[in-house]
Structure 1
């Protein structure tokens, strides 16, 4: 099984959300369609801008906790290193 740590954004340099899941396509779909009440739906955070996958749930959770403690500038730098235009990556998963 694969586990993914992911960052969602409301747009370029917008509100960020970090999460972890064992089904990235399903989870991003839920965020994009407002199926999950909470932070992402309240703040219109619908674009997948970064993700990393691992076979280890422990590694995924550890990475998520690390990122949550990072400064915003570090998160932005990580996104822009692999996705400089903040393109929505959801369609690349399908």
Structure 2
């Protein structure tokens, strides 16, 4: 699948979870703060709405959206345990990082 080149626009890969931290979602966006607000108000994807995924557990920033898309693809192929290990390296208590977005 080909993606448009959004040169100059930062990209973000992020993990969301529910309150029990037993469902994970990986997403990509160019505007992390706006996208997380969408999820928090139930206006994200159907999957995140269905499973009430509103807790931001992890995010990575990239210089452009294309790099973020590539990273998202990579992470989606990881085992669940690997994903949680990545999250726990920077967020061992699995807290909502929403307040840490600049």
Asked whether the two chains share a fold, i.e. TM above 0.5, the reply is yes
Structure of greater Rg = 2
Residues 42-70 of structure 1, C-alpha deviations (whole Å, 9 max, x = no match): 00110000000011222101100011110
Q: Distance in 2 between matches of 1:81 and 1:12?
A: 19
Paired residues of 2:11 and 2:66 also in contact (CA < 8 A): no
Q: Distance in 2 between matches of 1:69 and 1:9?
A: 17
SS in structure 2 opposite 1:62? helix
Paired residues of 1:12 and 1:85 also in contact (CA < 8 A): no
- 1:27 has 2:31 as partner: no
Q: How many aligned positions are there? A: 94
Matched residue, 1:38: 46
Question: How far does residue 6 in structure 1 lie from its aligned partner after superposition?
Answer: 0.3
Question: How far does residue 37 in structure 1 lie from its aligned partner after superposition?
Answer: 4.6
In structure 1, the gaps of 5 or more residues are none
Question: How far does residue 12 in structure 1 lie from its aligned partner after superposition?
Answer: 5.2
Q: CA RMSD in A?
A: 1.2
Matched residue, 1:9: 17
Of 5-14 and 79-88, deviating more is 5-14
Question: How far does residue 11 in structure 1 lie from its aligned partner after superposition?
Answer: 3.2
Matched residue, 1:66: 74
Q: Distance in 2 between matches of 1:13 and 1:92?
A: 19
Q: Distance in 1 between matches of 2:66 and 2:77?
A: 17
